[in-house]
Amino acid sequence: MRNYEMLFPFWSKLSDAEKELIEQTTYIETYNKGMLMHRTEDSCKGLMTVLTGQLRTYILSEEGREVTLFRVNAEEVCVLSASCLLDAITFDVLIEATEDTEVLVVPSAVLNQVMQQNPYVELFLYKAATEKFSDVMWTMQQILFLKIDQRVAQFLWDEMIQKNSMTLSITHDEIARYIGSAREVVTKVLKYMVKENVLELKRGTIIILDKEKLRGYM
């Protein structure tokens, strides 16, 4: 028995029939690390809630430059996966699994039916969208107003906290994609930090030697 009450704050506002409909139609999908789960052209699958793993939402320029908008962690909904049901969302994004990820899918047709009957479901979705709006504003301010060394330092710091490790398995290219910059620029910043004894670089690995100095760049 899944804990719908915890995943969906609107659960207590649903009728018994609505609850049963959702319980009987939701299903689990698994995405391997690196898989794309949502493309502009795809039909709209439904509302995805991350059970384990992590999703990364990003946009792509014509030249292939990526900018990460936000990540969706376990027990969070990926509201943009249901954007086809939300008139107010008129943009599209790419969604990738950053690790092996299990998601719970409420199919579009079911979600749509319940939404028509119950304003709390739509409210939940738009509220979730607005939370991501806040995340994107934060990202945008970072991109616009922070210098590149600050962005790299902030990224490494966040990774260190999240992974609870001073040894990070990540390539320069991945960092560049996460912070919306170019690999060459990231490499330059990392090499500078090596010279300053903040980091050590090994193939595919970055070792943080001096947390305090790293913090000094932020």
Task: Write out the residues near a copy of itself by the rule CB under 8 A.
Answer: 59, 61-63, 65, 67, 86-91, 119-120, 122-123, 126-134, 136-138, 140-141, 143-145, 180
- Could you give the CA distance from residue 65 to residue 179 in angstroms, rounded to a whole number? 11
Q: Which is nearer to a copy of itself, 176 or 208 (CB)?
A: 176
Terminus-to-terminus CA distance in the chain, angstroms? 45
Q: Which is nearer to a copy of itself, 1 or 91 (CB)?
A: 91
**Whole-number Cα distances in Å, 180 to 3, 55, 64, 66, 210:** 37, 17, 11, 6, 25
Shortest separation between residue 162's beta carbon and a copy of itself, angstroms: 20
Shortest separation between residue 79's beta carbon and a copy of itself, angstroms: 9
Shortest separation between residue 121's beta carbon and a copy of itself, angstroms: 10
Q: Which is nearer to a copy of itself, 143 or 194 (CB)?
A: 143
Shortest separation between residue 135's beta carbon and a copy of itself, angstroms: 9
Listing DSSP states for 81-145 in one string gives GGGGG-TT-----EEEESSSEEEEEEEHHHHHHHHHH-HHHHHHHHHHHHHHHHHHHHHHHHHHH
Q: Which is nearer to a copy of itself, 27 or 138 (CB)?
A: 138
